[in-house]
Structure 1
């Protein structure tokens, strides 16, 4: 439960934090974004989006409910790309701080959340509905949540304070600069000097309420 409270506190603090937005100008044919030496291709992005749409279709009782789910996640492609990029920036910031996440860390958190949600299917349903995360990607998102928590500990910051938030996002900005994030203009911009709000529904940047994890799939 202590880990659970930590996750909620951190996520609530990050929801209003600035996005490391992009300066995408370089042409990268077929790439939705380039982060460091890694290309996130348009096909990879579309694959991720299709995973969510397939899961939404399977979870819907009928076509009307499916269309409602699609309408609620109308910006899914852009949100998914921003999440993919931001997660990679977090990975670099964590690496810079000597932070690592083990499989046991992820399993412990998942077991805890599944117990509160009422099982694996209920947790997967909640993540799909609230964050647009396909069932097969839940562990990846939990890992990122833990990584963000551990980064705050390594930095010695309190995300409930203005200074703590500033220090956390300064570390993220440094990581973003090192990676030279380049976003395809089709999906927006990424400028580390700009402060704009996180729009993507990413678990580690949005409050995870008790009702969310207890809602049935």
Structure 2
């Protein structure tokens, strides 16, 4: 995946879509999801949402704020998908270094016209990314790009599906249902694994 797409593809991969029905287990209280036996706590999820809300409050150019419940589902969806990417990458011997993230961030900053502008563009995506979430967002995109490159268009989807199945994902019904076929969470999902990146596409709402 070309570096210049590292931020803009987030909106393509994780934009909102219609609700899909699916069954979820009910993890213990204080848990938004369990992935591979590890909890994603409601407090960790809320921290991500609060970071976005705080950044939006400080910005005059952010996209219209999504409802809190919708933003929570979208953020949880991405947190789960990141763990799926990490599991797939681990099995395939794929890594993303801090240097790679720094290089992409530097290039994206230059192309955006400065750090402030780059942060505004990240916050203006359909799934807003707060300034302190940008490095993780870049890592997400680099992992996805390397997995696609490693397995090819015909094989990377089964690799992700296999990893997701091995993680035995459970989601609190509060946030919707996990759809194993789409590898995504209820209302927050899109067919993210089948999208084609367009380098010229600007972030939604930019």
TM-score, L = length of structure 2: 0.79
- Note the 1:21-60 alignment, pairs <5 A: 23-60=23-60
Distance in 2 (CA, whole Å) between partners of 1:178 and 1:49 is 28
In terms of fraction of residues, the more helix-rich structure is: 1
Structure 2 gap ranges (5+): 16-20
Distance in 2 (CA, whole Å) between partners of 1:44 and 1:143 is 18
Q: Does the CA contact (< 8 Å) of 1:30 and 1:42 recur in 2? A: yes
Q: Does the CA contact (< 8 Å) of 1:22 and 1:190 recur in 2? A: yes
SS of residue matched to 1:39 = strand
In the TM superposition, residue 199 of structure 1 has moved relative to its aligned partner by: 4.0
CA gap 1:142/1:22 in 2 versus in 1, 3 angstroms = farther
Q: Does the CA contact (< 8 Å) of 1:15 and 1:207 recur in 2? A: no
Aligned residues: 197
- Per the alignment, residue 129 of structure 1 pairs with 124
Asked if 1:90 is matched to 2:93, the reply is no
CA gap 1:199/1:85 in 2 versus in 1, 3 angstroms = same
Structure 1 gap ranges (5+): 158-163
Among residues 126, 135, 140, which one is paired with 1:139 in the alignment?
A: 135
Distance in 2 (CA, whole Å) between partners of 1:32 and 1:211 is 32
Asked if 1:169 is matched to 2:165, the reply is no
- Note the 1:1-217 alignment, pairs <5 A: 2-4=2-4, 23-60=23-60, 69-71=64-66, 75-130=70-125, 131-155=127-151, 157=152, 164=153, 166-193=154-181, 199=188, 207=197, 210=200, 212=202
SS of residue matched to 1:34 = strand
The CA deviation string for residues 126-157 of structure 1, in whole angstroms up to 9 with x for no partner, is 011113111001011001111111112222x1
In the TM superposition, residue 3 of structure 1 has moved relative to its aligned partner by: 3.3
Larger Rg: 1
Q: Does the CA contact (< 8 Å) of 2:32 and 2:41 recur in 1? A: yes
In the TM superposition, residue 26 of structure 1 has moved relative to its aligned partner by: 3.9
